[in-house]
Amino acid sequence: MNLKNKILYNLTEKIILKNKKFKGIHKGESCYLFGNAKSLKYYDLSLFNDRISIGCNALSLHKDFSKIGISYYYEGHPFNFYKFFKDPYTSSYRRHILGDLKKQKIRENSDINFFLDVSDYPSTRGKNIFYSHHFGEKFSNYSNCSLDGFFSANQSALSGMIGMAIYFGFNKITLVGCDHLMRPRSSDHFFEYGEMLKIIHPGFVNEEVLVAAQEFVSLEVVTPNSEYKGDLIPHVSYEDLTGKEAVYRENYEIVLDDDLITLSECSYPYLMTKSQFLKNSVL
């Protein structure tokens, strides 16, 4: 640990140690982890309220978010809730309107435990907000990854949610809306326009994370139909899991108009309209 991280750890140790109350709290239970991919446009989210769930990123923008009964939420990207941020596409600083929207969702869901990066402690606090950080430790496996210490699984929302689930003591994880873990894969998010696109690509995504996780938990990914299979981990189809057929809904049917406008005004290259989606498909 370098000097910068030593100082940061000393300043925030008491904040991080508050997470210790969650250690093993769900030992031996099963859970759902929700990504943000397009397969969520085919699912009735109310059918996933039979287990404890962990969500992340933009999931709270889904109209049916409250029907899941999310207990925990991962927002581990650093400096994610300040008024201004450095645009990754232009390298300039601009108003972080998406951060403002996410902060609003935290206030609206006071019954959910949110986990943010400790860098956001000065900007965003609340009784239901907790913090984690890697303190310079690189991820190698989940044995040395702890919410009350060095949380090195913060390289992605998937690795972060899995790290939380392992820390909580879950022994089975069903991944929902994680389309990059299927073959063929799909891209983009549930709040973007258009149906799932099939992507044929060699190799595995998040292989290191998934292999490391299976030392502690069993994993499976939900697929929308028989055309998709689990990539590296087993799969279960939506119909086999819920007893219902998948039904497609467009982004304007599952996300509020005001939230769609906010997303379209972000600097990220989201495909929010039919014309944007068709143009990208042609390219």
DSSP state of 224: S
List the domain range (segments joined by +) for residue 241: 3-282
Distance from C-alpha of 226 to C-alpha of 205, rounded to nearest angstrom: 20
- List the one residue out of 151, 83, 119, 116 whose CA is nearest residue 11: 119
| 74, two tokens | 């991962």
Distance from C-alpha of 57 to C-alpha of 266, rounded to nearest angstrom: 14
Mean pLDDT of the chain: 93
Confidence at 204, pLDDT banded by 50, 70, 90: confident
Encode pLDDT of 206-219 as tens digits.
899 999 999 999 99
| 248, two tokens | 């497609």
Higher pLDDT, 86 or 236: 236
Beta-carbon contacts of residue 54 (< 8 Å; ≥ 6 apart)? 31, 32, 33, 34, 70, 71, 72, 73, 74, 161, 164, 165
Distance from C-alpha of 115 to C-alpha of 52, rounded to nearest angstrom: 16
Encode pLDDT of 110-165 as tens digits.
999 999 999 999 999 999 999 999 999 999 999 989 999 999 999 999 999 999 99
- Measured in degrees and rounded to the nearest 5, phi and psi for residue 272 equal -90, -15
Query: Is the predicted pLDDT of residue 99 greater than 60, yes or no?
Result: yes
Strand 113-117, strand 70-75: pairing: parallel
Higher pLDDT, 53 or 87: 53
**Structurally, how many domains does the chain consist of?**
1
**First-residue to last-residue Cα distance in the chain:** 45
Note the pTM of the prediction, 2 decimals: 0.94
Encode pLDDT of 20-30 as tens digits.
999 999 999 99
Return the H-helix or E-strand segment holding 101: helix 97-108
Distance from C-alpha of 160 to C-alpha of 107, rounded to nearest angstrom: 22
190 to each of 27, 57, 202, how far by Cα in Å? 31, 12, 24
Confidence at 268, pLDDT banded by 50, 70, 90: confident
Query: Is the predicted pLDDT of residue 90 greater than 80, yes or no?
Result: no
Backbone dihedral region of 127: left (phi > 0), alpha (psi from -120 to 50 degrees) or beta? alpha
- List the one residue out of 46, 42, 88 whose CA is nearest residue 68: 46
Q: Which of 128-137, 180-189, 196-205 has the highest mean pLDDT?
A: 128-137
Residue 283: per-residue pLDDT: 56
| 235, two tokens | 């799969």
Residue 84: per-residue pLDDT: 87
Confidence at 282, pLDDT banded by 50, 70, 90: low
What percent of the chain clears pLDDT 70, i.e. is strictly above it? 99
